[in-house]
Chain A
Amino acid sequence: MTRYDAIVIGAGHNGLTAAGVLARGGRRVLVLEKNAGLGGAAAGYEIAPGFQAPRYAHLLHAWHPQIEKQLDLAANGLSFARRDLPTLALAEDGAHVVIEGGAARLLSGAAHPDAAAYATLHRRLVRFAGVLSAKLLETPPQFHRPDWRDLASLAKLGFDVRRLGAADAREFLRVLLSNARDVILDEIGDGPLAGALALDAVMGGHTGPRSPGTALTLLYRLAQGGGRHLPKGGMAAFCTALAQSAQSHGAEIRRSAGVAAVTVENDRVTGVLLDSGETLGAPVVLSSLDTRTTLALTGVEHFDAEAVRRVRHIRCKGATAKINLALSGLPAFTGVDPDDLTGRILVAPSVQSLETGFDAVKYGELPAHPALEVLIPSRLDPTLVDGGGHVMSIIVQYVPYHLKDGWTAGARERLAATVLDLLERHAPGLRSLIVAQDVLTPLDIERETGAPGGHWHHGELAVDQMLTLRPVNGMARYALPVGGLYLCGAAAHPGGDIIGAAGHNAARQAMKAPQTKTEGHAA
């Protein structure tokens, strides 16, 4: 039996990051991927011959610069078509807003009436996010019998908060558990600018801007300033760079190698059993799959009833869908110069519209006006398409996982029609350009990526499921109750989005434990 120091289940971006960190730590690592392609939720694919599209996630949002450096991604082929993409927030009345970081203006060039207030708010929120962002790359502290590292971490947090100054520190503590709607609308009026910021708080989650706790998810998205970047070659190239970074230090990656079970002996992992029947040995197994699946693969009998019960109750109802289009040409957005289509384009006309969208999803209904984050990556990176066409990647926020009456073919058509109708209001004739179309409901996303409920955080990023409570009370430090078994994906702290922190932190945690290096011989 082949033996490794560590086996990583899932070659998504977190699994590959974990492998890269482990390999650089001198461990012999094997990454197992069920699919033929790598990347998980960061994968790219050919939507039509000659058209490369991002299948799910389409931008690097808060990809951590420290991890980028640690994994030498630039040396391994990662470059950017554009960093810090601007945002074009479309307005129903044509008064579109262009947002670049904390600067907002009207597309027409005129000043936005809330520009100053927005800049102040953005600056403050980024500052607050900065206080928390150090925690992204740390294992959550434990409050009971904290070790010196935990105490140091907590002390530093306290110190960083106080360093904001008394007034800002108080504001930080007030805002922390507030909701996105109030935090935003206390400073600026409702409209596309407010909607854009609120979308940052709720995208990917089953939550509305009024829900308490969304201020925290907003801060999460603003870590590192909230910039969004498009890798050259698309998300596929990003995944390739990650894979290469791990392989360049000796990690092995096996595709089409699904894991049937994690093998356990005397409460410690001994390796994995593949679908093919082959067994592989390792004293450490890191799973980038969600918690429930990980427990199931390991065998729930190895966990106590309380742990199983808690895991069963993890909330993971996805509320986000994806529509990918191959287009024969660049769509014309009314009143928008083609040069202004290089950023992400939002259809989120107000905080109110987001809340209404969420209201529908709560009952398993499709809202009349879901929010859209649209990207035309080929506009910035022509290498993605052969010829003069384009790809359009649309994240649809507020699509229920459990649709009343089910996701029938008719329901999927209705979803596509709703989205295309919304877009055609701004880009008439869009439909006539469509060469190929893929509709991925949360159910599809679950089936393809394994994300439970199609939830891209593998578990709601709600305050009671974050930090020391993520994925559940008692399992928050990546190590699961079975020896040598770790969670390294979005299910663990700090959550999903393409950050890589979960993989990075889990790998570091795994390397801290004794017995993570075998003698490393092939059987």
Chain B
Amino acid sequence: MSGRYDVIVVGAGHNGLTAACYLAKRGLKTLVLERSDWIGGAAVSRELYEGWTYSNCSYVCSLLRPEVVRDLDLPRHGLQVIPYESGATFTRDGGYFAYYSDHDALRREISRFSRRDADNYERYARAVMRQCRFIKPLLLRAAPDPVSNRPRDIAELLFLGKRFHDLGDREMGETIRFWTMSIGEFLDEYFETDVIKAHFAGSGIIGTGLGVYSPGTAYVLLHHYMGEVDGTIGAWGFTRGGMGGVTQAMARALIEAGGEIRAGAGVAQILSKDGKTKGVVLDNGDVLEASTVISNMDVKRTFLNHVEAKDLPDDFVKAVKRFKIRGSSAKLNIALDGFPSFPAAPAGAPFLKGDLHASESLDELERAYDDWKAGRWSSDPYFDMLIPTCIDPTMAPPGKHMMTVFVQYAPYELASGESWDGPARDRMAETVIAKIAEHSPDFRDLILHKEVRTPWDIEREVGLTEGNIFQGELTFDQMFFNRPVPGYADYRTPIKGLYLCGSSSHPGGGVMAAPGANAAREVLRDLGMKVSGLTPAERAA
């Protein structure tokens, strides 16, 4: 295969597809190359057991930028997200705490545990919402370089400064606090009930190499909260057909816009000469030419595996090597012969359709993190367990179910020296299954098939370094103008015409499509094409 393109995107993850869509719509001859036989990266649905569709990596949707959904007309191409409106944490004493997106229902539920907490919930929700409102417009803007004198950067710094200042005295301080606090300490200020805190704290550590008491995790909670479904901020939902529904819709949009996708076509090398992008070489040796190449791979994979070191400045390579991408999560995807019973839940409880957990205190979560630091999988893990088939029956045969279990924590390298590709995988899975079984007596017997994904498996299959779902830790030394490399936070790289569009770039990970959209904008800018009007944020600037 050979050919010339205007733009080649390496990796058909959701960000790569997004960037490709925006560029194809502007008439650029765009090709997306994907190593695997299927597309979607970590936003994918796979039939790994006959009759069952697994969202075997990402599993729920919220952060997908509504601007991108609208710009690419994704609903017309089949994207349908159905919110699940509640969830729960089961406790060892046979009880539970349920979360309802209905404010009054939630208040009543919290009152079951503590009136004080019920009263404080209003303040807590308002505080988080304020932060969401502050941050949302910043997601679809490139981060400024605080050290440069370029008018664009200075203008952006002033914009951010003004936005910050407009919060007012009190809120400015509270914002700085929120962004630097741990989720554990933040929750300790509002709630006294352990299980309530534990329930909320989970989204502060999902996908991270941090604990609930690590500073900066309140921000991670925000990161998971600032999405929306149908305009409800903070809501999460299932994509019909699994998370592959997102990338399939994007792929259809791309084809309609005149773009091309090739699966089973891995890229071996990104070519450049004299600091300028020339194209790519495929695994099979074919050469494809393009003066613009956008990589959806994480920054380490891109530069340490697919670009020759001699083409890059030394300190850039050093900075890339230093960028922290630490695997900390595992996943179990399970085909069930029926719906498992949860005796703690009242009959017909709506929250069984949502996110289920079994960690009942911040200490328990913190100890799970300590295990990870010591190079072990958590003996008492945190999990985010859902049964999407309650809402989307298309994922399994009638009457059967599919369960997705996201687990914190599992290290990429085990301190024991054991490989994940062996008995350790099943032992880790058993830890998780045993914990679920504590709350569901018939669960084990219903298991028809399970796919266990350790950080090693995720890396191998999806191409995410160490299986880190964010393509890099979401800590402030690696966020915003520090992401992925200080001085290169604007999607560009030391090679002219080579860009990054994945979660290693601002604003980070989750199925957001923001990095992809932002990268496309910068590409257009460099090609001298008009960018105004591309996104509402751009129109507002």
Contacts and interface: CB of A to CB of B under 8 A. Distances in A.
Interface of A: 142-145, 161-162, 166-167, 169-171, 173-179, 182, 186, 210-213, 215, 313, 315, 355-356, 359, 362-363, 462-464, 468-469, 473-474
B172 A212 contact: no
A468 B176 contact: yes
Contact of A212 (B147, B367, B476): B476
A469 to B, nearest CB: 6
B147 A166 contact: yes
17 contacts: A143-B165, A143-B169, A166-B147, A166-B487, A167-B487, A173-B147, A177-B180, A212-B215, A212-B216, A315-B185, A359-B370, A462-B180, A463-B215, A464-B176, A468-B173, A468-B176, A473-B170
Contacts of B181: 462, 464
A355 B185 CA distance: 19
A177 B475 contact: yes
Contacts of A213: 180, 215-216
Contacts of B366: 362-363
B363 A474 contact: no
Contacts of A169: 146-147
A145 B165 CA distance: 9
A171 B169 contact: no
Interface in B323-378: 324, 363, 366-367, 370, 373-374
B247 to A, nearest CB: 33
A356 B375 CA distance: 12
Given A144-B169, A473-B173, 5 more contacts: A144-B165, A177-B180, A178-B476, A179-B477, A462-B215
Nearest to A312: B189
Contacts of B481: 173
Contact of A211 (B170, B189, B215, B324): B215
A313 B181 CA distance: 12
B213 interface: yes
A484 B226 CA distance: 43
Contacts of B180: 177, 212-213, 462-464
A145 B166 CA distance: 11
A173 B373 contact: no
B367 to A, nearest CB: 8
B474 to A, nearest CB: 10
Nearest to B173: A473
A312 B215 CA distance: 19
B174 interface: yes
Contacts of A175: 477
Interface of B: 146-148, 164-165, 168-170, 172-174, 176-177, 180-181, 185, 188-189, 210, 213-216, 315, 322, 324, 363, 366-367, 370, 373-374, 475-478, 481-482, 486-487
Contacts of B213: 362
A474 B173 contact: yes
B486 A171 contact: yes
B486 A177 contact: no
B445 to A, nearest CB: 36
Contacts of A474: 169-170, 173
Contacts of B476: 177-178, 212
A175 B367 CA distance: 27
Given A182-B477, A212-B215, A464-B215, A143 B172 contact: yes
A186 B323 CA distance: 10
A174 B482 contact: yes
A178 B164 CA distance: 22
Contact of B482 (A173, A182, A211, A355): A173
A178 B319 CA distance: 14
B168 to A, nearest CB: 6
Nearest to B161: A143
Contacts of A174: 477-478, 482, 486
